[in-house]
């Protein structure tokens, strides 16, 4: 009696990395690569057409982020199973991905054995969170969330905007901008704007795809 192969979709915009993953997975008994996608929009189309059991997906993708893809597809198919495979280990990146519905979060330096184990575990309905990732997630869960307005102000800070420019962009007074900055500095545990910007990027609080949408 033969066991049906686990159908896998690979979503990765870097050609060499994607081709390497596909070649690797094709050597593993019990796995079948049923599709590839190079951006978020293509990932959704491929998922709908191929109906994979597992989707391996990066966080940073052209046209639509990995988190947005996961959220969209899980609205359509709540049982869809995703494994994030990325170079980003910021606690906010991890939090957003798992909150969206990813069942595993792996860094691209993982071993082949760990990748295959994660695929099989998630296919069985389990989660796979390596200890280092779980530790970062625990750190994130112990911090206070930024409000929507504080997040908007932080985005502007990361883009190098002055308080006056932030106020004009968000249609609020400079005094209000300063109030939001003081609050977000406290929540991030930093003492100035430069540290806030550094922390926002390190932790993935302000994702790169969000920055690309900023006005020049």
Q: Read off the pLDDT of residues 5-50 as tens digits, 9 standing for 90 and up.
A: 999 999 999 999 999 999 999 999 999 999 999 999 999 999 999 9
In percent, how much of the chain has pLDDT > 90? 58
Q: How confident is the model at residue 1 (pLDDT cuts 50, 70, 90)?
A: very low
**Range 119-129 average pLDDT:** 94
Domain with CATH 3.40.50.2300 in the chain: 6-139
CATH topology of domain 6-139: Rossmann fold (3.40.50)
DSSP string, the chain: -PPPPEEEEEE-S-HHHHHHHHHHHHTSTTEEEEEEESSHHHHHHHHHHH--SEEEE-SS-SSS-HHHHHHHHHHH-TT--EEEEES---HHHHHHHHHHT-SEEEETT--HHHHHHHHHHHHTT--B--HHHHHHHHHHHTSPPPPHHHHHHHHHHHTT--HHHHHHHHT--HHHHHHHHHHHHHHHT-SSHHHHHHHHHHHTSS-HHHHTTS--
Domain with CATH 1.10.10.10 in the chain: 148-211
Q: Does residue 133 have a pLDDT over 90?
A: no
Q: How confident is the model at residue 70 (pLDDT cuts 50, 70, 90)?
A: very high
Q: Does residue 51 have a pLDDT over 80?
A: yes
Of the candidate ranges 71-80, 135-144, 202-211, the one whose mean pLDDT is the lowest:
202-211
CATH topology of domain 148-211: Arc Repressor Mutant, subunit A (1.10.10)
Q: How confident is the model at residue 216 (pLDDT cuts 50, 70, 90)?
A: very low
pTM, full prediction: 0.74
């Amino acid at each position: 009696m033969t066991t049906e192969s686990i159908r896998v979709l690979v979503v990765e915009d870097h050609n060499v990395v994607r081709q390497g993953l596909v070649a690797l997975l094709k050597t593993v008994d019990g796995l079948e690569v049923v599709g590839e996608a190079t951006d978020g929009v293509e990932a959704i189309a491929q998922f709908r057409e191929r109906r994979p059991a597992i989707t391996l997906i990066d966080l940073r993708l052209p046209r639509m982020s990995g988190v947005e893809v996961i959220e969209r597809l899980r609205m359509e198919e709540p049982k869809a199973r995703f494994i994030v495979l990325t170079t980003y280990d910021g606690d906010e990146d991890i939090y957003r991905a798992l909150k969206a519905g990813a069942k595993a979060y792996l860094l691209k330096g993982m071993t082949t054995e760990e990748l295959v184990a994660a695929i099989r575990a998630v296919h069985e309905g389990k989660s796979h969170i390596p200890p280092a990732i779980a530790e970062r997630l625990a750190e994130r869960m112990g911090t206070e969330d930024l409000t929507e307005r504080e997040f908007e102000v932080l985005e502007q800070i990361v883009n190098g905007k002055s308080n006056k420019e932030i106020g004009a962009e968000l249609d609020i007074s400079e005094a209000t901008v300063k109030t939001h900055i003081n609050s977000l500095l406290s929540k991030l545990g930093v003492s100035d704007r430069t540290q806030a910007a550094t922390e926002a990027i390190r932790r993935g609080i302000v994702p790169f795809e969000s920055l690309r949408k900023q006005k020049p």
